[in-house]
Structure 1
Amino acid sequence: MAKSARASSKKFNNQRKAASVFAPTENARAERLSAKLLELAKQPKPESSDVNMNTEDDDLQVEITTRDDNDTAMEVDASTKTTKPRRSGRVIAKSKHKKSKMVFQNLANILVPISILIFAIGFFPYKPFLPGLAEYESLEIGPPPSGPFDKLVFMVVDALRSPLNRRTGQLTSDCSDFVFSENSGFEFTQSLIRDGSAVPFTANARSPTVTMPRIKSITTGSIPSFVDLILNFDEADTSSTLSAQDTWLAQLKARGMGKLLMFGDDTWLKLFPDTFDRTDGTTSFFVSDFTEVDNNVTRNIAGELENNDWGLMVLHYLGLDHIGHKSGPRSPNMVPKQQEMDGIVQTLFEAIESKNHLKSTLLVICGDHGMNDAGNHGASSPGETSPALLFISPKMKAISSGLSAPATPKDDFEYYSKVEQSDLAPTIAALLGFPVSKNNLGAFIPAFLSFWPSARDRVQILMRNAKQILGIVTAAFGDELFDPESMSDPCFLEPTDINTLACQWRCISQKARSVADARHIDAEWLSETSTWLRRAQDLMSAMASNYDIPKLLLGLALASVSMLLSISSTVSRGYHWNSDAVPLLLIALSYGIMMFASSFVEEEHHFWYWSCTLWLAYLGSRQVAKTRRISLFGWSLVALAALRIMRSWNQTGQKYAGEPDIVKIFLLPYPELLWILVAATYGIISFNILASLDGLPYVISTGLSSFLVSAAFSFKLAFTAEDAPELVVGFAKAVYDMFQGQTLLFRARLVFALISITAVWAIYRSIVGGPRASRTSAYLFHYLYTLLALTQSRATNIPILLLSSLLFNFLQSSNLSIPQITTSSILLQHATFFAFGGSNAISSIDLSSAYNGISSFNVIAVGFLTLISNWSGPIFWTSAANLLLMKKAHEGQKDVFRQHITLLTAFTAASIAFVMAACTALRTHLFIWTVFSPKYLYCMAWGLGQHLLINVGFGGLLYWLSSR
């Protein structure tokens, strides 16, 4: 009672004190407030356009708090100068500023594809060609000679090269041979070389070493455009046809030398529509098959050898190339496939020997390109540019006494005399007796001049070839220097390449008549003419393409504008993270400078590996110093160790391609270790998917995750059993036997269907389930993509995604700013691209999984699967970055994804601009077509595919779903 009395007394005293002390002040404030309200009421109302209620503006954060009644309205004083119209003006200015930044960012991303395509049009133009068929022109030295052959069997064994260990110069015991060396499966072919029935050469296939450009070079004698490299990957393309160009196929058809037959790679049917009379085409991109694809060719041979109505039979075998893509040149399937091809050579040769209507048939065997030590092609390594070439016929014994076989290489892959692959065109033309193609840059192979004993005939063959190439030379340089009546004598001018060529032409053309009339051929003149042909060929082949300089500069300018717009948007945002963006600026500048050195372009992976190592070490030390948490130090060591292992997983680049790496040293010899890692990766993914299916009953979520992962794992086992059966041993073989019975097509479609169904459910949950469901679904999307990446990756690369998950856990444990997230994403996207075996060479493109779940060619489906197969690592980090950004958004940061994309666009535009500048400045460089052109193609893929489609499109979709 006493306490209650005291409290009541104290309360009464306070009330009395407040009434006597504070009441006058309260009354005065109330009077001033009333006067102020009356004054505001008399002012004009603001326009509706001045009112901005956009609560999402990150530059204007409105904070609503609850205050005591005593605090309300007491701040209004006569000295207060703030008015509502003034604040409204600031809101309008900030809104306009935000909109301008959004316009800058959108415009920068729009300019990225525009600049890329304009530059590509100027850098990779279609080369002009002379239309119509060549005709024999009248020469003073007489009519053209007839050829010793009247039929041609042209057999292409895709990727047929001569293998050699580049580092040691020695054949290794486990290295399967292709044609000429000791371990070859071509034993019968080598016997033909020894007895003189076959004349062998090592051809030089210029880059790009893929099928379509090489067939163009073989049939026209010209140097193909790099545009053909892009068209080579589109099975449905018909724009690259040679139907309007002069080729030896067109010459054969025009002269009625018999029907034209084609069996094998349907690239020939695309290049020569309506040319062949009987065909049986096979697609070239089902690289999983190397049996039926060749049986479909061989089944036509026996019947056609009995027919006498054809003049040309083209046989294009794909199996050996497919084995290379799947398992490399040391695959256990390689020698049996060579023996199969050797048996076909034997069948053809014995038919030519025994059948009267085939007595004058020439059999040409060649590879369209070779392959590197990884089994791929498209670049310019010696293995890729050195396919085998053989001319076979019993008539060859008249000009050849035989050569040693197997042979010892003189240089990298050079077993016999080296010729240009384009030399096939004029040589075939002469041997079959028709004019050389108008656009030919090839030189007749002098070894076959012995078929014509007459000096006049030999002069005819060389001079007609020389005059045809002279027409191309004079079209490029003018004819004044080559005109014997010209007042300017090139022999007395500065000894440039063209002046030297013109001087030599005058000499050989003046001697031609006297040499033709002589009883014996002048060996010196023959040598001089052959040298002139080769010089002219080298000059025209090495000439810079007909670049469209204005388009190159326009593309470069637009890329630079895109870069400046992105930087402007970045700098003007005012988010106070400029210091965190400095490392990204340094990376972009270093990368740009590096693009001007061909060696650095070829070995680009080292830049990303070391940059990533330094970056992770920097993040780890910074986080440890800031938080003093020992666990972060442990995660830093784990991350650095994971990155170090990842760097050594696959040897890439040019200098050390095919050298020992983790896959070759540990996984291929010990497949049990491989499947332990693979099973662990699938197991972790299964638990992660299960944890992310919290919106479903436990029984359903457990069954779905188990069924989904089991279907994916069984597909990978079955795929590997077809792809590399030597890897499916032990418990992997036992599990594979349990799941036998379904085709790979069905298995792949089942996996894709289950992933799609689960993704649709996750989308539904994101839209209707609220913030928590959106966050859970974001992780489910990430794990579903990881499972898709596992499906599209080679079995030996699957553990890289396990290592990537460890790196992601380190980044999750660190409190990163948005620029740090973006920098980490860029570095790890590029590092994992190279860790998976990627490079800046076309030969590193992996097509082994491009047809998973597809029964026929579809450009969109194949393109999508090829993108996933080759960019599985970078796409993983796009998804992982979304999870890190989602975390920042849930911490209360505004405009998170836009900040991220602004920085990504700035880096992408800068890298594109630097690559364009390098290609423009170095367009006459020796390695422009072998190094810088492929680099620009990859630049296109990174800019259009990875940045716009994946980072902006796919990443934006993921962020939108996760932030609902």
Structure 2
Amino acid sequence: MAKSARASSKKFNNQRKAASVFAPTENARAERLSAKLLELAKQPKPESSDVNMNTEDNDLQVEITTRDDNDTAMEVDASTKTTKPRRSSRVIAKTNILVPISILVFAIGFFPYKPFLPGLAEYESLELGPPPSGPFDKLVFMVVDALRSDFVFSEKSGFEFTQSLIRDGSAVPFTANARSPTVTMPRIKSITTGSIPSFVDLILNFDEADTSSTLSAQDTWLAQLKARGMGKLLMFGDDTWLKLFPDTFDRTDGTTSFFVSDFTEVDNNVTRNIAGELENNDWGLMVLHYLGLDHIGHKSGPRSPNMVPKQQEMDGIVQTLFEAIESKNHLKSTLLVICGDHGMNDAGNHGASSPGETSPALLFISPKMKAISSGLSAPATPKDEFEYYSKVEQSDLAPTIAALLGFPVSKNNLGAFIPAFLPFWPSARDRVQILMRNAKQILGIVTAAFGDELFDPKSTTDPCLLEPTDINTLACQWRSISQKAHTVADARHVDAEWLSATSTWLRRAQDLMSAMASNYDIPKLLLGLALASVSMLLSISSTVSRGYNWNSDAVPLLLITLSYGIMMFASSFVEEEHHFWYWSCTLWLAYLGSRQVAKTRRISLVGWFLVALAALRLMRSWNQTGQKYAGEPDIVKIFLLPYPELLWILVAATYGIISFNILASLDGLPYVISTGLSSFLVSAAFSFKLAFTAEDAPELVVGFAKAVYDMFQGQTLLFRARLVFALLSITGVWATYRSIVGGPRASRTSAYLFHYLYSLLALTQSRATNIPILLLSSLIFNFLQSSNLSIPQITTSSILLQHATFFAFGGSNAISSIDLSSAYNGISSFNVIAVGFLTLISNWSGPIFWTSAANLLLMKKAHEGQKDVFRQHITLLTAFTAASIAFVMAACTILRTHLFIWTVFSPKYLYCMAWGLGQHLLINVGFGGLLYWLSSR
């Protein structure tokens, strides 16, 4: 009993020492022990004969009691310790839920659907007699996707027959101004309605399955043709027309617009319908939309060897159509319109606002054109880069087609009738009617926005005496031309001055309304901004509450975030954003290298540090991007394209290094199997890249690359790509299985295997000229792996290198930099999920590489014994992502009336959505979390 009392006394002393930390638990234990002692004290004292001198049982009982009490305390203590990680995990989950919610809420407010006036326009009385009839009764509307003006009008054009029509006056040429966004769906909306489409159509343009953005309830010249019974409506080509105009066409043959690997069949499917339909007399409209030229641009750019032959093919179709119009009686009054929906930049892409992208060709063709045109010289010299002949707005097609075919202008039109066609109506009254009907239709839209007091002739306010703002000047000019309209219409001779003044008024009204800000939903903009800010603050508070000992390591990330956010308020910095990441990466690597070398003084680390700086310098010059220097000389243009042998040496080296690394990571398999699997996998991937490049840019496959390509001939690209994907999937499944059942060492080895498998997938989805960038990235990774980095340093390195490699691969904040050339690898028909996944890999291959590389660095920290490694990493990533999204939202909100809101800031917000939803949530959190979970088992 004495020994038991001594043990109890010792326990009470320990309880008092720990009371300040585990007071509740220790107090409870003390109470239980006190009660037990009091109970023992109340028991009768034993007789001396009953006393057991063997104290082992008593000692054992006290030891068991003590152990039970300690176990209870440890359980409570452990539960206390785990509450913080669980609470932190919940906070991180909430912040990452707020990210997509804030993005979508802000997008709804920033990209709303613009309201349109329903119903079809009717002729209103102008007291100038009956509306003038049109000189044409049929329309062949031929769209050649991405038909840039120089493709038709320059000396290097393949449109020789079309140029002969320009010279003899049968074709009237223009350069159309296609406003941003320069992608197909918004451009077709502008062409057919004459309005300025919503920027949301840019997003919908990438979804082949979308049917929400239709024009079935809107006034278009197609609806006018159908309503007036001018014949059946036919459509052959891009099925975007079928989505926009459901149940409108009587005969169709649609083709998908995103299968960019196809140059030939996609156009043959259109042409095969022409000959038979030219014999029919039951149609009033035939729409032909050819996609092959656009696909060539996406695959290999405007200077592709396939470009001129495709132009010659299109020129042959123009000749077929013109000769039929000229020779067949039922086609005598047919108007042929040839146009591009947009152009393309020097990389072959489109979507932004560079001169090449916004300058498609436009021609009105008919033998009747000789009555108003004596011909122009062709080929021609551009006035300003891609501006050939006269320049008109693409939306001007709507009122011009309406007048030439004799029906009212669409209600929502902002286009102006092209004055060059007024000579088709000799009568002054008819010319006045055409212009005044167009002007009154646009006036209705102007007064809806600004009120009608300034434009009302009965108003006592004279706009000509007010401050000469845009709207006051427009109202003053309107009073002048409207008052003179009847006088001019009754005159025997056409008043050229009045016609010019009216055409000028139309253009000014068009510019004013086109430049007006969208109908933003301000509450939603502010709500989205607030949610993003809350997400950022929650991330920061989570780091503070966890008490992570980051010292000064997180300060650089804070400075980078603030600098990046401030930069978002300047349009020129947004366009040239890559410079920020390039210089930040350079400074960051220099900072890390100097610190690491000073700490370790290892010669090998000095070598890797210098190699990393050199690799980054080469990466910065690999592809010129942005707006100011896009198309300027870079490593690809100076060294790789002129010397393809050098390109394939670098490509082969990259594949060889990955093959060796994969083999080293297959240590769980017998040597014969691992050697065969790695060799077969890398050989299949390399042969696919050779075959793909031979199809895409055959001029690059020369020398030993051509010899290797000839050895692997006989299989289609589709089969080769599927074989590579199948082998990658099989190896990935094996690596996953080994991570789960193989123990810690197998998990670490599998983590590296996952990294190398992704690298091989990235090579498969990248252009051949960009493959060496992954080799350079691997060199930088070796430096980081040789360094002893803290978690904030790993996160900062990942963020910086994700963005730097995105731009090094040729990315930018312009929609035109999206690369669709590899979006259909291994796919025989459109599938939104598969195409979306492959497009993400193609355009974000560099950032995803650094997500995987960061996982390996984090795994190293975890195996060193550091806790909450991935949670700390994701907390910092989320804080940066939420902050950058909030800054972009603030910039878009404050600068919503800026001149470049649609050409610079709106595309930037779309990329912000891609970075937040795609790269952060899907890749960094989802894919990165999966990799870390597998590697830490």
* TM-score, structure 1 as length reference: 0.88
Task: Tell me how far 1:130 sits from its aligned partner.
Answer: 0.6
Cα pair distance change 1:71/1:453, threshold 3 Å: closer
Cα pair distance change 1:503/1:83, threshold 3 Å: closer
- Residue 614 (1) aligns with residue 587 (2): yes
Task: Tell me how far 1:72 sits from its aligned partner.
Answer: 20
What is the 5 A alignment of 1:833-872?
Answer: 833-872=806-845
Q: Contact 1:601–1:931 (CA<8 Å) still a contact in 2?
A: yes
Residue of structure 2 aligned with 1:550, choices 523, 537, 546: 523
507-516 or 444-453: which moved more? 507-516
Q: Deviations over 1:392-412 (max 9, x none)?
A: 111111111111111111112
2:102 match: 115
Separation (CA, whole Å) in 1 of partners of 2:54 and 2:813: 47
Task: Tell me how far 1:28 sits from its aligned partner.
Answer: 27
Q: Contact 2:147–2:340 (CA<8 Å) still a contact in 1?
A: yes
Task: Tell me how far 1:431 sits from its aligned partner.
Answer: 0.2
Q: Deviations over 1:369-394 (max 9, x none)?
A: 01111111000000100111111111
Task: Tell me how far 1:931 sits from its aligned partner.
Answer: 0.2
Separation (CA, whole Å) in 2 of partners of 1:626 and 1:563: 34
| Superposition RMSD in Å | 8.7
SS at match of 1:873: helix
Task: Tell me how far 1:190 sits from its aligned partner.
Answer: 1.1
Cα pair distance change 1:8/1:957, threshold 3 Å: closer
Q: Deviations over 1:557-583 (max 9, x none)?
A: 111111111111122322211310000
Separation (CA, whole Å) in 2 of partners of 1:259 and 1:366: 22
Q: Deviations over 1:47-106 (max 9, x none)?
A: 99999999999999999999999999999999999999999999999xxxxxxxxxxxxx
Task: Tell me how far 1:148 sits from its aligned partner.
Answer: 0.3
SS at match of 1:178: helix
Separation (CA, whole Å) in 1 of partners of 2:893 and 2:232: 47
Separation (CA, whole Å) in 2 of partners of 1:8 and 1:519: 123
Q: Contact 1:50–1:89 (CA<8 Å) still a contact in 2?
A: no
Cα pair distance change 1:47/1:625, threshold 3 Å: farther
Q: Contact 2:91–2:542 (CA<8 Å) still a contact in 1?
A: no
Cα pair distance change 1:375/1:297, threshold 3 Å: same
Q: Deviations over 1:289-342 (max 9, x none)?
A: 111111111121112111111111111111111111111111111111111111
Q: Contact 1:158–1:317 (CA<8 Å) still a contact in 2?
A: yes
2:928 match: 955
Q: Contact 1:207–1:378 (CA<8 Å) still a contact in 2?
A: yes
Q: Contact 1:177–1:185 (CA<8 Å) still a contact in 2?
A: no
Separation (CA, whole Å) in 1 of partners of 2:669 and 2:803: 37
940-949 or 568-577: which moved more? 568-577
Cα pair distance change 1:394/1:931, threshold 3 Å: same
Q: Contact 2:15–2:30 (CA<8 Å) still a contact in 1?
A: no
367-376 or 58-67: which moved more? 58-67
Task: Tell me how far 1:280 sits from its aligned partner.
Answer: 1.3
Would you say how many aligned residue pairs link Structure 1 and Structure 2?
936
Cα pair distance change 1:18/1:473, threshold 3 Å: closer
Task: Tell me how far 1:487 sits from its aligned partner.
Answer: 2.3
Q: Contact 2:29–2:69 (CA<8 Å) still a contact in 1?
A: no
Cα pair distance change 1:751/1:64, threshold 3 Å: farther
735-744 or 431-440: which moved more? 735-744
2:486 match: 513
Residue of structure 1 aligned with 2:179, choices 185, 203, 206: 206
Task: Tell me how far 1:488 sits from its aligned partner.
Answer: 2.0
Cα pair distance change 1:2/1:186, threshold 3 Å: closer
Q: Contact 2:574–2:908 (CA<8 Å) still a contact in 1?
A: yes
Separation (CA, whole Å) in 1 of partners of 2:741 and 2:361: 63
SS at match of 1:279: strand
Task: Tell me how far 1:444 sits from its aligned partner.
Answer: 0.1
Task: Tell me how far 1:489 sits from its aligned partner.
Answer: 2.0
Separation (CA, whole Å) in 2 of partners of 1:57 and 1:621: 65
Q: Contact 2:259–2:829 (CA<8 Å) still a contact in 1?
A: no
Cα pair distance change 1:144/1:827, threshold 3 Å: same
Q: Deviations over 1:622-678 (max 9, x none)?
A: 000011112111111100000011111111101111111111111111111111111
Task: Tell me how far 1:493 sits from its aligned partner.
Answer: 2.1
Task: Tell me how far 1:139 sits from its aligned partner.
Answer: 1.4
Cα pair distance change 1:25/1:418, threshold 3 Å: closer
Q: Contact 1:129–1:245 (CA<8 Å) still a contact in 2?
A: yes
Gaps of 5+ in 1: 94-107, 162-175
Q: Deviations over 1:714-757 (max 9, x none)?
A: 11111111111111122212221221222211211111111111
What is the 5 A alignment of 1:83-482?
Answer: 108-161=95-148, 177-482=150-455
Cα pair distance change 1:334/1:18, threshold 3 Å: closer
Separation (CA, whole Å) in 2 of partners of 1:373 and 1:21: 68
1:51 match: 51
Q: Contact 1:160–1:388 (CA<8 Å) still a contact in 2?
A: yes
Task: Tell me how far 1:945 sits from its aligned partner.
Answer: 0.4
Cα pair distance change 1:618/1:37, threshold 3 Å: farther
Task: Tell me how far 1:142 sits from its aligned partner.
Answer: 1.2
Cα pair distance change 1:345/1:34, threshold 3 Å: closer
Q: Contact 1:29–1:74 (CA<8 Å) still a contact in 2?
A: no
* TM-score, structure 2 as length reference: 0.91
Separation (CA, whole Å) in 2 of partners of 1:419 and 1:59: 102
Q: Contact 2:791–2:873 (CA<8 Å) still a contact in 1?
A: yes
SS at match of 1:572: helix
Task: Tell me how far 1:851 sits from its aligned partner.
Answer: 1.1
SS at match of 1:314: strand
Task: Tell me how far 1:789 sits from its aligned partner.
Answer: 0.6
Task: Tell me how far 1:932 sits from its aligned partner.
Answer: 0.2
Cα pair distance change 1:286/1:26, threshold 3 Å: closer
Separation (CA, whole Å) in 1 of partners of 2:586 and 2:387: 41
SS at match of 1:82: helix
Task: Tell me how far 1:277 sits from its aligned partner.
Answer: 1.3
Cα pair distance change 1:71/1:423, threshold 3 Å: closer
Cα pair distance change 1:348/1:80, threshold 3 Å: closer
SS at match of 2:58: coil
Task: Tell me how far 1:365 sits from its aligned partner.
Answer: 0.6
2:776 match: 803
Cα pair distance change 1:770/1:132, threshold 3 Å: same
2:747 match: 774
Task: Tell me how far 1:231 sits from its aligned partner.
Answer: 0.5
Q: Deviations over 1:22-54 (max 9, x none)?
A: 999999999999999999999999999999999
Task: Tell me how far 1:242 sits from its aligned partner.
Answer: 0.8
Separation (CA, whole Å) in 1 of partners of 2:370 and 2:764: 54
Task: Tell me how far 1:286 sits from its aligned partner.
Answer: 1.1
Separation (CA, whole Å) in 1 of partners of 2:48 and 2:92: 12
Q: Deviations over 1:87-126 (max 9, x none)?
A: 9999999xxxxxxxxxxxxxx1111001000000000000
SS at match of 1:141: coil
Report the identity percentage: 97
SS at match of 2:74: coil
Q: Contact 1:151–1:361 (CA<8 Å) still a contact in 2?
A: yes
Q: Contact 2:259–2:830 (CA<8 Å) still a contact in 1?
A: no
894-903 or 725-734: which moved more? 725-734
Cα pair distance change 1:462/1:55, threshold 3 Å: farther
Q: Contact 1:685–1:783 (CA<8 Å) still a contact in 2?
A: yes
Task: Tell me how far 1:494 sits from its aligned partner.
Answer: 2.2
Task: Tell me how far 1:178 sits from its aligned partner.
Answer: 0.6
Q: Deviations over 1:751-790 (max 9, x none)?
A: 1111111111111111111111111111111111111111
Separation (CA, whole Å) in 1 of partners of 2:138 and 2:737: 66
Task: Tell me how far 1:926 sits from its aligned partner.
Answer: 0.2
487-496 or 190-199: which moved more? 487-496
Task: Tell me how far 1:177 sits from its aligned partner.
Answer: 4.8
Q: Contact 2:92–2:542 (CA<8 Å) still a contact in 1?
A: no
Q: Contact 1:156–1:317 (CA<8 Å) still a contact in 2?
A: yes
Q: Contact 1:266–1:283 (CA<8 Å) still a contact in 2?
A: yes
Cα pair distance change 1:605/1:79, threshold 3 Å: closer
Separation (CA, whole Å) in 2 of partners of 1:50 and 1:116: 81
Separation (CA, whole Å) in 2 of partners of 1:350 and 1:257: 23
7-16 or 316-325: which moved more? 7-16
Task: Tell me how far 1:16 sits from its aligned partner.
Answer: 36
Q: Contact 1:46–1:85 (CA<8 Å) still a contact in 2?
A: no
Q: Contact 2:25–2:73 (CA<8 Å) still a contact in 1?
A: no
Task: Tell me how far 1:288 sits from its aligned partner.
Answer: 1.2
Cα pair distance change 1:785/1:37, threshold 3 Å: farther
630-639 or 422-431: which moved more? 630-639
2:25 match: 25
Q: Contact 1:60–1:91 (CA<8 Å) still a contact in 2?
A: no
